[in-house]
Amino acid sequence: MSPKKPALTHINAAGEAFMVDVSGKARTAREALARGAVVMLPETLALCLSGHAKKGDVFAAARIAGIMAAKKTHELIPLCHPLNLTKVAVEISPDESLPGVRVAARTKTLGETGVEMEALTAVSIACLTIYDMLKAADRAMRIEGIVLAEKTGGKSGDYFREE
C-alpha cells in the first residue's frame, strides 16, 4: 500500500485550477534559498572572469536579472501570488571543478505565503542570463541542478535539502 499523496492546493474537486485564498493565513517571516549552475568550457569561464565578454559584466547582469525576475514571479508563473519581497540576494561563484559558475538566490518576505518560487525564478533567470551573455563563445553550455535548497517559515514548516 503506497502512502497517501497530499492533495494539490491549486486544483478544485472538478479539476479546475484556481488561486489559493491566503487571506486567512498568518503573516510570518518566510525565506527560501535556491541553487543552480551553468556548466561551460574552461575557456568560457576564463573569458567570463576576465571581464572581456562582448556583452559586458556577466555576473552583474545576471545578478540584476535574477533580482528583477524574483520581483516578477507572479507575472511569469500562473497562480503565484504577488509578494512584498523584503530581500532578494543573488550570489554567483565561479567553480573551476564544473567548470562553470554556481548561482544561489535567497528570498525573504513577511507574508501569508512562501517565497520558494521567487528564489527558483531568480536562479533560473540568472542562469539564462549567463548563458545569453556567453553563448557566442560556447553554445554547448548547460544549465543544471536548479533546486530548492531550503525554505523556512509558514504552516508547512522548514525544509532543508539533503545533498
Enzyme catalytic residues: 132
Greater confidence (17 vs 130) lies with 130
Return the minimum-mean-pLDDT range out of 8-12, 115-119, 159-163: 8-12
Report the SS3 class of residue 38: strand
Give the model confidence (pLDDT) of 86-123 as tens digits. 999 999 999 999 999 999 999 999 988 889 999 999 99
pLDDT digits (tens, 9 = 90+) for 17-33: 777 878 778 889 999 99
Q: Say whether 33 sits in a helix, a strand or coil.
A: strand
pTM of structure: 0.90
- Residue pair 61/116 in contact (Cβ under 8 Å)? The answer is no
**Percent residues over pLDDT 70 in the chain:** 95
